[in-house]
Structure 1
Amino acid sequence: MQLIFLPGASGSTAFWQPVQQRLAKRTFGNFTSQKVIAYPSFGMQPSHADVYDFASLTQYALEQIEQECIVIAQSMGGIFAVQAALQKPHLVKGLVLLATSGGVNLAPFQAQDWRSAYQQQYLNYPDWFCTASIDYSPQLQTILQPVLLLWGDQDPVSPIAVGTYLQSAFAKAELHILEGGDHLFAEKYPDQTATFIAHYLAQWEC
């Protein structure tokens, strides 16, 4: 099986390197490789003729999933991860979602609006990443794969309440909170993050 990593809205594949390095040092006999999916036109990646809106980017990301895997996703990458679990349940055996919306409406959770700051920081990125409106809430209960949810308790973009909701929405999910963690806690606390993920992955080593 493969570990597939999905970045957040920055598209930075380097975000996952600290966690990847720590997981690579552990022994997982059933996991033979790691792969980070880069987004065309994001994170200094070249554009792609078939990627021109959020739906086509979702399709592009899903096309990169070609073998049995666990999908590990940060923030907006969680939207692609959820869609992968829905469309490719025969390949996606589990999900690890960090500080994400999971494709649900965040308005009821008093989440901080990240879009204006994002557009100012990433001036050359496609604007449709900020305007997409996605709600997979009715479909979440049909995802039967085990889901690991990791949240920081100091994250205004995706508050703990979002993680709690997702825990109740998925058929099989566990939620862990990293004390002092903000929206980018996986990058700041890679040891703790990798430990939680390693414990989750251990169920496939039986």
Structure 2
Amino acid sequence: MFLLKKKFSYIIKGTGHPLILLHGLMGNLSNFNALLDFFPKKGYKVIIPSLPIYNMPLLLTNIYNLSKYVIKLLIEIGIEKATLIGNSLGGHIALIIAKKRIDLVHSVVLTGSSGLFEKAFGDAIPKRENYEYIRKKSQEVFYNPKIATKKLVDEVFHMVNDKKKGIKILYIAKSSMKYNMSKDLSVIKQPFCLIWGKQDPVTPPKVAKKFHRLLPHAELYWIDKCGHVPMMEHPKKFIKILEKWLSKFNFHHENLLCKI
């Protein structure tokens, strides 16, 4: 179900413990299709916000304000103690929310998350009008270049060649790089699950290892032959890891007690 409520747009499906799925800068809601199909059937409420990357005033276009948007959405729809699941920029947003609003966040799943280091898509995207260049850069995100379908490449190509969108992408990317969280991680006490592609070229394995070292309560899982977007490239493996990790918290038992 897709909902537009006041200034918020999001997909919501299922009932139970809330999973908030946060997409990356060049990503979209469809990146999480496999999770949206699977987890509502297993007793979870899945919510995927559409991040307003292109809708904020230029001077307010930064990662901090994207985080505020998600916080306001969670409060608006009455979500507390959720599990945030973030890819790339979405992971960075999840980290900021977990630090600032302990009441809203039970646990966090990071996959290819920014926040410590990330390789930029391209400084100022110098060859944005070159379709082959965009195709190559899109393919490099994945271990298997075939994941970057023509439809996906077309979306990225049109996105970076829209002048207004292109500028906002750069503003968000720069704010993300400036907002380094290495000194913040030790105070974020929620449980973390790190699911990482062994061949991630954007946030390479050393980034996952550093997150694992700096976060007080983190578990690290690897997916081989996998790039920057594991839930797209290996959805079954990603779901298997995530479902097993979530099961330790007995959310369904808590839901049953609430009903009684």
Which bracket does the TM-score occupy, shorter chain normalised?
0.7 to 0.9
- Amino acid of the structure 1 residue aligned with 2:93: F
Alignment partner of 1:23 is 2:31: no
Distance 1:90 1:200 in 2: 21
Deviations 1:128-179 (A, max 9, x none): 1122111111110111111000110111101111001000111100000101
Give aligned pairs, total. 192
Could you tell me which of 15, 18, 26 is aligned with 1:2?
Answer: 18
Could you tell me which of 130, 148, 162 is aligned with 2:173?
Answer: 130
Higher RCO (CA 8 Å, separation ≥ 6 residues):
1
Compute the displacement of 1:201 (Å). Answer: 1.0
Compute the displacement of 1:85 (Å). Answer: 0.5
Alignment partner of 1:40 is 2:52: yes
Q: Please state which structure has a larger fraction of its residues in helix.
A: 2
- Amino acid of the structure 1 residue aligned with 2:89: M
Distance 1:51 1:16 in 2: 29
Structure of larger gyration radius: 2
- Amino acid of the structure 2 residue aligned with 1:114: F
Compute the displacement of 1:114 (Å). Answer: 1.9
8 Å CA contact 1:148, 1:200 repeated in 2: yes
8 Å CA contact 2:208, 2:220 repeated in 1: yes
Query: Which residue matches 2:30?
Result: 14
Query: Which residue matches 2:234?
Result: 189
- Amino acid of the structure 2 residue aligned with 1:3: L
Q: 1:22 to 1:13 in 2, by over 3 A?
A: same
- Amino acid of the structure 2 residue aligned with 1:52: L
Report the 3-state secondary structure (helix = DSSP H, G, I; strand = E; otherwise coil) of the residue aligned with 1:154: coil
Alignment partner of 1:74 is 2:87: yes
8 Å CA contact 1:51, 1:60 repeated in 2: no
Report the 3-state secondary structure (helix = DSSP H, G, I; strand = E; otherwise coil) of the residue aligned with 2:208: helix
Q: Which runs of 5+ in 2 are unaligned?
A: 1-16, 129-156, 254-260
Report the 3-state secondary structure (helix = DSSP H, G, I; strand = E; otherwise coil) of the residue aligned with 1:136: coil
TM-score in terms of structure 2 length: 0.68
Distance 1:3 1:50 in 2: 30
Compute the displacement of 1:84 (Å). Answer: 0.8
Could you tell me which of 60, 63, 72 is aligned with 2:72?
Answer: 63
Identity %: 22
Query: Which residue matches 1:113?
Result: 120
Q: Is 10-19 or 139-148 further displaced after alignment? A: 10-19
Alignment partner of 1:168 is 2:222: no
Compute the displacement of 1:117 (Å). Answer: 8.2
8 Å CA contact 1:50, 1:56 repeated in 2: no
Q: Which runs of 5+ in 1 are unaligned?
A: none
8 Å CA contact 2:67, 2:94 repeated in 1: no
Distance 2:243 2:58 in 1: 35
- Amino acid of the structure 1 residue aligned with 2:192: V
Report the 3-state secondary structure (helix = DSSP H, G, I; strand = E; otherwise coil) of the residue aligned with 2:60: coil
Compute the displacement of 1:24 (Å). Answer: 2.6
Query: Which residue matches 2:14?
Result: none
